[in-house]
Amino acid sequence: MDMGSYLAAVRENTPLVHNITNYVTVNDCANILLAAGASPIMADDRDDAPEITSICNVLNINIGTLNQRTIDTMAVCGQKSKELGHKVVLDPVGAGASTLRTNTALAILSQVHPDVVRGNVSEIKTLYFGEGSTSGVDAADIDKVGEKNLLEAVAFARDFAKKFGCVAAITGAIDIVSDADTSIIIRNGDAMMSTVTGTGCMLSALTAAYIAASDNTLEATASAVAAMGLSGELAKSRMSALDGNSSYRNYLIDAVYNLDAAALASGAKYETR
């Protein structure tokens, strides 16, 4: 797989990405899309968003800070996108932390059939088993994917992908991107990424741009995940003694901005199983 080609496709095609997303990290999602060479648009009103969806190339649904008004819009735009042949990403932020979040994510899964579901392992487990408990918006310690439980996690990702007919992107210290047959394990990234709010949200937005610019959803998703992780490493290498998580956020988006196909191709650390 040439991960660099997926990055290049985003810069060549400038996909227009419709985001229905939370108000906490929305600005970073917009800027990371611009950094990657995509074009973001945000719209969440029932009377506005379906028309916006129709002029876009892909839809990114993120359920953080959901409310009844936006939940309705998510379902309507998700279905509209699929009718138009656009791909859809679902980021089930906080699934397992509340019944509304779990049920909303499950409803979108069954009504919209997203092409990619990207979340932390606790969120993804919650959706698979139909219930669960997450520690807020972060993965529970017990769920975390490491070298010891990696094979088990890969098998789970594959089952999830099969059950929901999507690509599963389970991200954490080790990332797994899988469809029903093939799994890609990615070992890019840096622990500093968890000190910035919205790195998961940003990755979901980035994933939407990558899959919009390619026919191969599995590899495009894996490339987005590797690009984000590699950018996290590059950002870390810029840190000076007085820098903290706020400067790191800037360096992270800057790194996505400066990343090119050759750097991604050589810097991506992954294996396919």
Q: How far is the CB of 181 from a second copy (least distance, A)?
A: 35
Q: How far is the CB of 210 from a second copy (least distance, A)?
A: 18
Q: Is 185 exposed, middle or buried (0-12, 13-18, 19+ CB in 10 A)?
A: buried
Q: Are 236 and 267 in contact (CB under 8 A)?
A: no
Q: Which stretch binds a second copy (CB under 8 A): 44-52, 80-88, 115-123, 167-175?
A: 44-52
Q: Which stretch binds a second copy (CB under 8 A): 82-90, 158-166, 181-189, 254-262?
A: 254-262
Closest CA to 202 of 10, 20, 30, 11: 30
Residue 43 interacts with a second copy (CB under 8 A)? Answer: yes
Q: Which of 101, 118, 125, 236 binds a second copy (CB under 8 A)?
A: 101
Residue 13 interacts with a second copy (CB under 8 A)? Answer: no
Q: Which stretch binds a second copy (CB under 8 A): 1-9, 165-173, 194-202, 208-216?
A: 194-202
What Å distances lie between residue 94 and 38, 108, 157, CA to CA? 26, 14, 18
Closest CA to 123 of 162, 96, 148: 96
- Residues 116-155 interacting with a second copy (rule: CB under 8 A): 133, 135-138
Neighbours of 16 (CB within 10 A): 17
Q: Which of 3, 30, 89, 124 binds a second copy (CB under 8 A)?
A: 30
Q: Which of 251, 265, 267, 270 binds a second copy (CB under 8 A)?
A: 251
Report residue 63 CA to chain centroid gap. 12
Residue 238 interacts with a second copy (CB under 8 A)? Answer: yes
Neighbours of 138 (CB within 10 A): 16
Whose tokens are 């359920």? That residue is: 63
Helices (H), the chain: 3-13, 26-36, 49-55, 68-83, 99-112, 121-129, 150-164, 199-212, 217-238, 245-258, 261-267
Residue 55 interacts with a second copy (CB under 8 A)? Answer: yes
Report the residue number, 182 or 250, with the smaller CB distance to a second copy.
250
Q: Which of 3, 8, 10, 52 binds a second copy (CB under 8 A)?
A: 52
- The SS3 of residue 271 is strand
* Binding positions for a second copy, rule: CB under 8 A: 16, 22-28, 30-31, 34-35, 39-45, 47-48, 51-52, 55-56, 64-69, 94, 97-101, 133, 135-138, 195-198, 234, 238, 242-247, 249-258
